[in-house]
Amino acid sequence: MKIRIAKNSGFCFGVKRAIKMAEDASKKYDEIVTLGSIIHNPQMVKKLEQQGIHKVNSLSEIKGRPTIIRSHGVEKNTFNKLLEQNIEIVDTTCPYVSKTQEYTQLLGKAGYQVIILGDKNHPEVIALQSYSDGNTIVVKDASELPDKKFDKVGVISQTTRNIEDLQNLTRELLPRCRELRIMNTICNATSIRQKATLELAKESDLMIVIGGRNSSNTKMLAKISGKYIKTHHIEVAEEIDKKWFKNVENIGITAGASTPDWIIVEVYNKIIEYLGNHEKKISKIEDIPGLRSKDER
């Protein structure tokens, strides 16, 4: 039986940067909070809590404490209110997300009808909308477009969407508007993980996708893999069922951009344990076949 991991699995540049900034800040301040979850991984959020980085859900809970802005950003008004209240801000918004906010603002100001491809309940999309001064339509795919013609349309994508959905949306829009501007704001880290997952899914009999159930990019990996092969989306090793491995030869593992290495290692070791190969347990992610090198992530 072979177990392989999709290359590029786990933390992306933006998440690594956010966690490092938060940990550095926690050494500098006695008390520090994050406004919302810093990343979409409940286990990592819990670990940070143990390091004294507390999560709050509203401005009123901050009570003057230094505040970390999560990797997927906050609404413009919220940011401005923190500034007005002279709250010390540690802004871990991923530079790729900031760029997306900038484009949304530019298009909105230039009079484009901004159409965002994304999940309207996702914090990144909620924040994005605030940058176009309210003139936005959010669709999860082309089928949700309103049945009408447009004049000038600017398309923005949530960073974790897949390119096919963006292509379908713009194909549908083109005959319906006089001018169409498309900003391909799908993050490279997202598309690389999707491609690696797809390649591994095609060569596996079973796929295990690891990451927060609230993580859009992890859910997207599970969707992509599930189109090809039996796929289980889990958050932690304890969710694995030994029965999954009956009559399976090739097991593939992949993990979202917000999944910490230690959880991936625990999942790998749990599979090894269930297969009866205790001596093959590992202590670091680089030892899992397939991941070639940490730098590739």
Question: C-beta of 144: minimal distance to ligand SF4 in Å?
Answer: 23
Residue 159 in the binding site for ligand SF4 (CB under 6 A) = yes
Q: What is the DSSP string of 64-116?
A: T--EEEPTT---HHHHHHHHHTT--EEE---HHHHHHHHHHHHHHHTT-EEEE
Residue 71 in the binding site for ligand SF4 (CB under 6 A) = yes
Residue 96 in the binding site for ligand SF4 (CB under 6 A) = yes
List the catalytic residue out of 124, 164, 179, 279.
124
10 Å Cβ neighbour count for 149?
A: 9
Question: C-beta of 97: minimal distance to ligand SF4 in Å?
Answer: 5
Distances (CA, A) of 106 to 110, 118, 170, 244, 277: 6, 19, 19, 49, 56
* Residue carrying structure tokens 């996702």: 122
Residue count, binding to ligand SF4 (CB under 6 A): 14
* Residue carrying structure tokens 């298009």: 107
Say which residues have a Cβ less than 8 Å from residue 215's Cβ, sequence separation at least 6: 40, 41, 256, 257, 258, 259
Residue 186 in the binding site for ligand SF4 (CB under 6 A) = no
Question: C-beta of 36: minimal distance to ligand SF4 in Å?
Answer: 14
Question: C-beta of 21: minimal distance to ligand SF4 in Å?
Answer: 12
Question: C-beta of 280: minimal distance to ligand SF4 in Å?
Answer: 31
Residue 190 in the binding site for ligand SF4 (CB under 6 A) = yes
Q: Is residue 124 annotated as a catalytic residue, yes or no?
A: yes
Residue 196 in the binding site for ligand SF4 (CB under 6 A) = no
Which of 90, 189, 208, 224 is the binder for ligand SF4 (CB under 6 A)? 189
Binding mask 117-146 for ligand SF4 (x = CB under 6 A): ------------------------------
For residues 10-49, which are near ligand SF4 according to CB under 6 A? 12-15
Nearest to ligand SF4 of 70, 270 (CB atom):
70
Residue 222 in the binding site for ligand SF4 (CB under 6 A) = no
Say which residues have a Cβ less than 8 Å from residue 67's Cβ, sequence separation at least 6: 32, 33, 34, 35, 82, 87, 88, 89, 90
Nearest to ligand SF4 of 161, 233 (CB atom):
161
Residue 257 in the binding site for ligand SF4 (CB under 6 A) = yes
With contact defined as beta carbons under 8 Å apart, do 244 and 237 qualify?
no
SS (H, E, C) 150-196: EEEEEEEECCCCCHHHHHHHHHHHHHHEEEEEECCCCCHHHHHHHHH
* Residue carrying structure tokens 């319906």: 176
- Using CA atoms of 153, 157, 163, 167 in order, give the dihedral in degrees to the nearest 10: -10
Which of 38, 187, 210, 220 is the binder for ligand SF4 (CB under 6 A)? 187
Q: In the complex, which residues of this chain contact ligand SF4 (CB under 6 A)?
A: 12-15, 71, 94, 96-97, 159, 187, 189-190, 217, 257
